[in-house]
Chain A
């Protein structure tokens, strides 16, 4: 039977088992929306801005292991989506974005709502396609899903001109796809794995540094087992949180710019470092030269060879899917007779304990007068039993959420780590809530970030998404203010948010519940009330201490041991 390109597009989504597609209609995708209308397998979620469609698809993907899907029109629809696509790209999130394009005969004529979608997105997608023949749609979409969710995942754009979506052809969906130029790595090199085991067993001060790759590869169990067998300390990056349980005694906390003192010191002073699905980025190891001053052997396991030896020299590179590599590494470790150096480890842990004391742990001075943002997160953690999905925006609140919400499971902490996109939190929470209808989904945000996609409160109303928004309202673009306080002589240039709306009324105007909380004593009761409202979106406007800063802090360009600890404690 002949089908239109639009119908084929939707049929492909059926074949891929897509439940939800997040999108916004427009001229170039009218045929596709028409095809959507005539089926009920794929549910369309109508967002209020295309950026939110992509973030929602992203949140959906991060909280599951499925590909997120978004649909936008040509021109402004596509350009609005770009921030979302770049966000997914930097965090390696599997996603397929379908965009409409002007008809093939109009391409290149500066037609109405024409932009070069493939050109604009090229640097922020894993791959992209412009479909020029209706016969190619099915195979292209098959490729898009395969590329998005294999190897190092990432967003893939499929740009479909309007005439192509209207033309007809017979439909057949390829069962398998082979792309001759693309062979995602599988198992690691056994020789290298042996070498890694040797190195780890002779280590006196081993350290395990695990990133978002562990979450993406579903290798948490393997990582946990490795840490147990080695008895070594484990740290997670911002993207890796939950990849290793925070309540494990071997967990030394998050590392990096706002990491714990002990994690950063251990990272700096270990003798054998194994990096797993992490990429030594600037917010993690700070100054590369400073990091390189201390000699240590580095084992780096990653699916993307270009992540290895990009910023630091590596002694044992292992390219492969983390799960498969760790499985093999574990079996070598178990089969061998050699055990880790117990005496060395005991000294190492003594040293780490000392750092824990010197650093003073994550701490803040609570107050009965003014709400401390950290206290809000601690309360959130307590009341949700550490089991909620927590999405976040970007800024101080994000760092406090990362520090004080102790994630024990992967895929619970959903944030824009690589691109640092304000406006991510609420739409991402929508995707998470749709994927996990009964679950508690908390969006930790700031009064700056939330206003970057606040229109999505309307989407939440339409689809009855009972997200709990915790806005840590300090009246400032807090993270900017903090940098200005530290590095720009307290000149708070444009970091003060004047003329803030009444967020309770905003929430109510969108048909939700809003609560304003001014006193520390009201934090817990308000949150309890909010969580008791199982079916409502509740917007909590916490008025928090505007002067609070995030500590510890490794200033930009400094080394991991050049950390600034909380001054007034």
Chain B
């Protein structure tokens, strides 16, 4: 099953490679991994999207907790949570297609950030599923370039991951 794991870790050189190294050394999947400092500059927050059997996910959580630089770990998928990903996509936008692309972007609540004679660059946030459906709706022929951040996640309501 797909899991979204959030963790707080020391904002130290090498901390990221400890996490990434753990996943490759033990053969765990990483679908995406995002990381940035938090409002407390000594801490970074990471969101890892992974998948595996319950036993594997349990091991992933334990192994992450075991890393000395990791302060706390939360498997967001175990409760109510919000998942968002940012995508920038550059499209071939010519002739009649321009109107249609703008309409689709509006439907998906995206924003056009950059316009040239031939292209649109669109910003879209949402769940992975939403971003995937946008790409499907556009059709791959028109896509020149996509860049996705990978998911960031946060628990709903009182589910708080803090020091």
- Interface residues, chain A, CB within 8 Å of chain B? 118-119, 122-123, 126-127, 130, 147, 179-182, 304-306, 309-310
CA distance A182 to B67 in the complex (A): 9
Give the residues in chain B near A180, CB-CB below 8 Å.
71, 163
CB-CB under 8 A from A118, the residues of chain B are 14
Given A306-B63, A309-B55, also A181-B71 (CB < 8 A)? yes
B58 touches A309 (CB 8 A): yes
Q: A130-B13, A181-B9 are in contact. List 17 more A-B contacts (CB 8 A).
A: A118-B14, A122-B14, A122-B17, A123-B21, A123-B25, A127-B68, A179-B68, A180-B163, A181-B10, A181-B71, A305-B65, A305-B66, A306-B62, A306-B63, A306-B65, A309-B55, A310-B59
Chain A proximity mask over B65-95: 1 for CB below 8 Å, otherwise 0: 1101111100000000000000000000000
Docked CA distance A126–B62 (Å) = 14
Q: Which listed residue, B17, B66, B68, touches A119 by the CB 8 Å rule?
A: B17
A126 touches B59 (CB 8 A): no
Asked if B18 CB lies within 8 Å of chain A CBs, one says: yes
Interface size class of B (residues with CB under 8 A): 20 to 34
The interface residues of chain A lying within 8 Å CB-to-CB of B68 are 126-127, 147, 179, 181-182
How far is A442 from B19 in the complex, measured between Cα atoms in Å?
42
Task: Compute how far the CA of A180 lies from the CA of B68 in the bound complex, rounded to whole angstroms.
Answer: 9
Please name the residue on chain A nearest to B64 by beta carbon. A306
Within 8 A of A (CB), among B2-24: 9-10, 13-14, 17-18, 21
- Give CA–CA (A118, B12) in the complex, Å: 13
Q: Please, how many angstroms separate the alpha-carbon atoms of A207 and B10 in the complex?
A: 42
30 A-B contacts (beta carbon < 8 Å): A118-B14, A119-B17, A122-B17, A122-B18, A122-B21, A123-B21, A123-B25, A126-B68, A127-B68, A127-B69, A130-B14, A147-B68, A179-B68, A180-B71, A180-B163, A181-B69, A181-B70, A181-B71, A181-B72, A182-B68, A305-B62, A305-B65, A305-B66, A306-B59, A306-B62, A306-B63, A306-B66, A309-B55, A309-B58, A310-B59
- Which has the most chain B C-beta neighbours within 10 Å: A123, A147, A181, A310? A181
Task: Find the A residue at minimum CB distance from B55.
Answer: A309
Q: In the bound complex, how far is the Cα of B10 from the Cα of A182, in angstroms?
A: 11
Task: Point out the residues of chain B lying under 8 angstroms from A119, CB to CB.
Answer: 17
Q: How far is the CA of A306 from the CA of B55 in the complex (A)?
A: 11
| Closest residue on chain A to residue B63 by CB atoms | A306
Q: What 1/0 mask marks residues of chain B from 40 to 61 whose CB sits below 8 Å from any chain A CB?
A: 0000000000000001001100
Complex interface: chain B residues within 8 A of A127 (CB)? 68-69
Residues of chain A lying within 8 A (CB to CB) of residue B63: 306
Measured CA separation A305–B163 after assembly (Å): 21
Nearest-neighbour CB distance to chain A for B20, whole angstroms, equals 10
Closest chain A CB from B154 CB (angstroms): 21
Please give me the residue from chain B that is nearest to A128 by CB atom.
B14
- Indicate if the CB atoms of A304 and B66 lie closer than 8 Å: yes
A96 CA to B58 CA, complexed, in Å? 30
Q: Which residue of B lies closest to A313 (CB)?
A: B55
